[in-house]
Amino acid sequence: MSNKKYKLLQGNEACVEGALAAGMRFFAGYPITPSTEIAEISSQRLPLIGGKFIQMEDELASMAAIIGASLTGLKSMTATSGPGFSLMQENIGYAAITETPCVIVNVQRGGPSTGLPTSPAQGDVMQAKWGTHGDHPVVALTPNSVQETYEYTVKAFNIAEKYRTPVILLMDETVGHMREKMIIKDPSEIEVINRKKPNCKPIEYIAFKPDKDMVPPMAAFGEGYRYHVTGLVHDETGFPTNNNEVAENLIRRLVEKIEKNIEDFSYYEEYRLEDAEVVIVAYGGVSRSAKYAVDELRKKNIKAGMFRPITIWPFLEKQIREVGLRAKEIYVAEMNLGQYFLEVERVAGKYCSVKKINKVNGELMTPDEIINSIGGNI
């Protein structure tokens, strides 16, 4: 018998539900609006199931603590917003090069700097990809509803575990704070992936030797596989090296293990795209307005549709190319000055016209604003 539960939750609350369903047992964080509920609820819920919550002294430390906890085998998460996300970049890079699974939630607010702490924005899209220095893999998922926040938090953990990589759940204040009816699924209906463990003897364990899927099995500290972990470029044994060939191979493998497996986590929604000539590309909170705008434009006999990336990084190049080949015009609607637009234009710009609709005043973009931007051009 299925044991689903209907609940009225905020996006931030649903994020914790998803994390717990995925097996989160460790949370470290630092208070910051508009993500704080995620820390508060984690602090209440985790001890009830034997998990651990700690409020660290800052976001640098929060990110470090979840990596440390993950190295002992616990599924770990932190949650923050813009200013904290900036501080976490240092150790997001460390998680990437040491291949330590972890989930980082960024409930985006207006920036730069302290910006608009209680207002929605989508200004961290490029930071999610390029925020930490050096070439590195990034997976970022962008839900647009409370239900999706729950489901994609589970997927974020699964991707982190399967590919040994940090995964960013890129929410925005709209999604984090809105309340909607949602379904908490029966555990039997939720796919939960756990990291690969070594099945060799400790003496035979080569800590960073990848399998054919480019992912090395991961032992936990304390299990008898004594190994070395460093943020320096390292060889398969985990020890630092300046060997140019090893460095090249490592960085390429880290990036390729994500990019070559993109089909495994290419999540998106297509809405009324079949015959669409005008396609709105939107994600997160803005996509809710975009969907409404599509219906209104259709009433005005404009063949409108929407493409909504949920996997925002790596970029869904194949899908966006197809949209570009079929559409006459693409409008990228986002609450920044055109960050995702740059990628859409790069890929689809040679096939159709790509325009941008932007808003950075701290209010959610409305359907009318999208309709008027498009209507004024048609």
- Residue ranges that bind another protein, judged by CB under 8 A: 25-26, 28, 47-50, 52, 54, 56-58, 60-62, 64-74, 76, 90-91, 94, 220-224, 226-232, 239-240
Cβ 203 to another protein shortest distance, Å: 12
Instruction: Find, among 44, 55, 51, 58, the residue nearest to 13 by Cα.
Output: 44
Burial 17-35 (b: 16+ CB within 10 A, else e): bbbbbbbbbbbbbbebbbb
Residues whose CB falls within 8 Å of the CB of residue 85, separated by 6 or more in sequence, listed in order = 59, 104, 106, 124, 127, 131
Nearer to another protein (CB atom), residue 64 or residue 279: 64
Nearer to another protein (CB atom), residue 112 or residue 240: 240
Cβ 375 to another protein shortest distance, Å: 51
Cβ 208 to another protein shortest distance, Å: 13
Nearer to another protein (CB atom), residue 43 or residue 249: 43
Residues whose CB falls within 8 Å of the CB of residue 346, separated by 6 or more in sequence, listed in order = none
Nearer to another protein (CB atom), residue 104 or residue 360: 104
Cβ 50 to another protein shortest distance, Å: 5
CA distances from 199 to 195, 217, 222, 223, 301 (A): 12, 8, 16, 12, 61
Nearer to another protein (CB atom), residue 63 or residue 107: 63
> End-to-end distance of the chain based on CA atoms, in angstroms?
53
Please give the structure tokens belonging to residue 165: 């990589």
Instruction: Find, among 111, 53, 47, 46, the residue nearest to 85 by Cα.
Output: 111
Dist CA 42 CA 240 (whole Å): 36
Nearer to another protein (CB atom), residue 97 or residue 121: 97
Cβ 235 to another protein shortest distance, Å: 12
Cβ 6 to another protein shortest distance, Å: 18
Nearer to another protein (CB atom), residue 83 or residue 309: 83
Cβ 67 to another protein shortest distance, Å: 6
The 3 state secondary structure assigned to 92-108 is: HHHHHHHCCCEEEEEEE
Dist CA 359 CA 372 (whole Å): 13
